[in-house]
Amino acid sequence: MIIRNASVLGKAGELERKHIVVEDGVITAIKDQLDAAEEAGELIEAEGKLLIPGLIDMHVHLREPGFEHKETIETGSRSAAKGGFTTIACMPNTRPVTDSPEIVELVKRKAEEAGLVKVLPYAAITKNELGRELTDFAALKAAGAIGFTDDGVGVQSAQMMKDAMRIAAGLDMPVIAHCEDNSLVEGAPVAEGTFADKHGLKGIPNESEAIHVGRDILLAEATGVHYHVCHVSTEQSVRLIRQAKQIGIKVTAEVCPHHLLLSEEDIPGMDANWKMNPPLRSRRDVEACIEGLLDGTLDIIVTDHAPHSAEEKAKGMQLAPFGIVGFETAFPLLYTAFVATGKWDLSLLVQRMTADPARVFRLNTGSLTIGAPADLTLIDLNEEKEVNPETFASKGRNTPFAGWKLKGWPVKTWVDGKEVWTDK
Ligand code: DOR
Ligand code: ZN
Ligand code: ZN
């Protein structure tokens, strides 16, 4: 297969017109000119379109096993492919929780059966994510888990977290943390701020996140583990991570599109499609997250794709579960808001969604180079379309971005040279 006349990002971030040759699922050449034999082969015309390494999303919820009414590994994989993602890492807050080798293997088998994107399973830190007893890290690693996390809840005990980090460090595995001190949250559905005040709701304070970030940085320093912070949403967390990196502690971090684009002041009313954890914070926090992403304090962008059913989300702001879907809007949202407006270089956005996650999690993908797997995404930077949740491949329709007019839509996605999604 040859992808002809694609616009690709050059070393200095400039766009170059190239032909990409793919053989047996691997990129074998990136050329300026095709020879006669190549011209006669299987050609995909990419004139005027951007070709980038397949996007990588290191934080997603696929809901299987146990919550198939929200999403399955197959529907989630299709949604990812449609959003331009070729590798995704799924969280263990399933039912049963992914806390045993059997469930890790089940997730891998279902992903293979779906045959769409590469699915990397995380395993839980504690059994049933209850924070009481550690899982068997060595067995989970042997089964194929790529890291340990109790995402969905914070690990409340510092001793439990320290033990987890020590064992993970010994196995050369990362610990990935949902940072949340429950004693500071107590059932609040949104962040502290103007929206909570106006509607008489309890507010989630910034410290509930940052206290865990600070605690865990100290524990990472003590244990030497690779510590990765989930969905950073506060100014204080960004500051702590920046300082930790400066003194050489092995910490990396991620941020979600919604925390770069929305603040609690933007919540239009008591609509649970605006409810996620961590919550939308102040404008000041949004600016700090953007600054952190730009200076590399925040290494990567993830969606925290968290589908829920319409019935669950209809329970209202106080009772509905936390979470919004992310795959099918992430790239167009960030492209439209930050790149099309001239605030960010295109290469920065692409890097934070491809090469940087590959670097942080040591993946063999995320770059458009000879010898790399042909995990590729073709993007139309010009056509403007409205976000319409009814057209999502995901079972989830829970997004605050319905109706937004965006550019930068993926039009074709390949995994190991195989087309896994096309818009035509
Ligand atoms: O918004 C969220 N949704 N935050 C979490 O921590 C969990 C996730 C979910 O599983 O729905
Ligand atoms: Zn989380
Ligand atoms: Zn999550």
| Structure confidence by residue, pLDDT tens digits, 241-264 | 999 999 999 999 999 999 999 999
Structural domains in the chain, sorted by start: 2-50+373-422 (2.30.40.10), 54-360 (3.20.20.140)
Tokens representing 347? 């290469």
- The span from the CA of 177 to the CA of 129, in Å, is 12
Residue 41: pLDDT band (50, 70, 90) is confident
- Count other Cβ atoms within 10 Å, centred on residue 74: 18
Ligand 1 atom showing the smallest separation from residue 275 Cα: 1
List, for residues 3-32, the tens digit of each pLDDT value: 999 999 999 999 999 999 999 999 999 999
Query: Does residue 42 surpass a pLDDT of 90?
Result: no
Mean pLDDT score, 386-396: 98
CA distance 178 to 14: 37
Question: From the CA of 210, how far away is ligand 3's center (Å)?
Answer: 17
The Å distance, Cα 65 to ligand 1 centre, comes to 16
- pLDDT at residue 412 tops 90: yes
Query: Going by DSSP bridges, is the β-strand pair 227-229/376-380 parallel, antiparallel, or unpaired?
Result: unpaired
For the question of residue 304 being annotated catalytic, the response is yes
Confidence of residue 286 (pLDDT cuts 50, 70, 90): very high
**Is residue 168 within 8 Å of residue 138, measured between CB atoms?**
no
Given the CA of residue 323, which atom of ligand 1 is nearest to it?
1
Distance between CA atoms of residues 379 and 327, nearest Å:
14
Q: Of these residues, 99, 304, 356, 375, which one is catalytic?
A: 304
pLDDT in tens, 310-347: 999 999 999 999 999 999 999 999 999 999 999 999 99
Mean pLDDT along residues 130-158: 99
Interval 188-230: pLDDT, tens: 999 999 999 999 999 999 999 999 999 999 999 999 999 999 9
| pLDDT score at 424 | 86
Looking at every residue in the chain, the average pLDDT score rounds to: 98
% of the chain with per-residue pLDDT over 90: 99
Residue 383 burial (CB count, 10 A): 11
> In angstroms, how far is the first alpha carbon of the chain from the final one?
18
What's the whole-model pTM score? Answer: 0.98
pLDDT digits (tens, 9 = 90+) for 160-177: 999 999 999 999 999 999
304 alpha carbon – ligand 3 mean position (Å): 5
The answer, yes or no, to whether residue 144 has pLDDT greater than 90, is yes
Q: Which residues sit with their C-beta closer than 6 Å to ligand 1?
A: 61, 93, 151-152, 178, 276-277, 306, 321-323
